[in-house]
Structure 1
């Protein structure tokens, strides 16, 4: 394994790798032009193992691509024999921010761990996962997003994990459309995401 100098800035034109960074905000219609922008990774250390096809970025890792920005303590990138890549970001927490497409709004998110597999185009957020904008919020201990099918799954625990306690259940709140003074619906605005928050359970006061 070879180690590169600390605090090195790596300019990467890897559109496949960029799918990970972009997909973190994709559920809220991220800035589409970011897909074609150059990816830059800033880290204190980078080690790469060519035999294992693995690269590890560590120490104040910052990934940028257009309006998108991700921060984490560590990102591991692995490539399989067919050239597909899997990305695992960990931190306390992993954070990201990206502009929404065609609107003056931003998406912010966080989780203790984020994984993206470009083979199946699926993003998974683990442990205290949140996606939020000025329009609403998605929250749960586990959020999965299939980009190809545009399908969300939000649960209180990841698949295979023990059933969540009542305190970590997922709750959905749908924000109604606002009406003007004349009682008619206000002009259309970007569709807000569903707000999902832990249900405190029966017998408790929110």
Structure 2
């Protein structure tokens, strides 16, 4: 086999290995959390509890629902048809932690977290960082589809992405 042909055959194999390594970073959020009551604690609330205007929570917002725990400076909650449809959280930074369906912990932080509950897409912007036992991801913008596990980050205006993928036999640490 020529060196060029060997390189062409190696490229698809390398792509498969990389995809297999990244798969653990795309663990799914615990689905049963959505069936749990949502508890919200904040220093101040303003707005209505209907669809006329978003409800704005501020002064140390803490939201828990099942294994999901969120801390932010401010939360803007949008309702439609009596259901929460979107939550926009801001902070210095917003802190999230949740247990994934596989039982592994996930920690994330960003200056803004925009969670669309209809599409199950979470967009983290501003010094975004996600940490799981299998690795970390950091960038200025990370879009995470909680239903499919698909992650997109970086891009033309979102800066570069930094990732660390730990070997299977060594979860966490340096």
* Counterpart residue number, 1:112: 111
CA distance in 1, matches of 2:158, 2:112: 19
Query: Secondary structure of the residue that 1:33 maps to in structure 2?
Result: helix
Change (3 A) 1:63 1:163: closer
**Stretch moving more, 65-74 or 44-53:** 44-53
Alignment-derived partner of residue 52 in structure 1: 52
Distance between the aligned counterparts of 1:144 and 1:30, measured in 2?
Answer: 14
Taking the aligned partners of 1:38 and 1:84, their CA distance within structure 2 comes to 12
SS in 1 for 2:161: strand
Aligned to 1:71: 71
Matches within 5 A, 1:92-131: 92-103=92-103, 105-131=104-130
Normalization by structure 2: what TM-score?
0.70
- For residues 173 and 97 of structure 1, what CA distance do their matches in structure 2 show? 19
- Pairwise CA distance, 1:66: 1.5
Gaps of 5+ in 1: 1-25, 179-188, 193-206
Matches within 5 A, 1:34-183: 34-49=33-48, 50=50, 52-80=52-80, 85-103=85-103, 105-155=104-154, 162=157, 164=159, 169-178=160-169
Q: How many positions carry a matched residue from both structures?
A: 146
Q: Which has the higher helix share?
A: 2
Unaligned stretches of 5+ in structure 2? 1-24
- Could you list the per-position Cα deviations for residues 92-117 of structure 1 after superposition, in whole angstroms to 9, with x for gaps in the alignment? 000011123343x3211100000012
Aligned residues of 1:40 and 1:64 also touching (Cα < 8 A): yes
Q: Residue 29 of structure 1 aligns to a residue in which SS?
A: coil
- 1:63-101 Cα offsets, whole Å, 9 max, x none, are 011221100000001235796722110000000111233
Do the aligned partners of 1:53 and 1:80 also contact (CA within 8 Å) in 2?
A: no
Task: After TM superposition, give the deviation of residue 28 of structure 1 in Å.
Answer: 2.9
Report if aligned partners of 1:75, 1:89 keep a CA contact under 8 Å in 2: yes
1:174 shift after superposition: 4.1
**Is the contact made by 2:137 and 2:164 (CA closer than 8 Å) also made in structure 1?**
no
Do the aligned residues in 1 keep the contact of 2:28 with 2:146 (CA within 8 Å)?
no
2: distance between equivalents of 1:81 and 1:54? 13
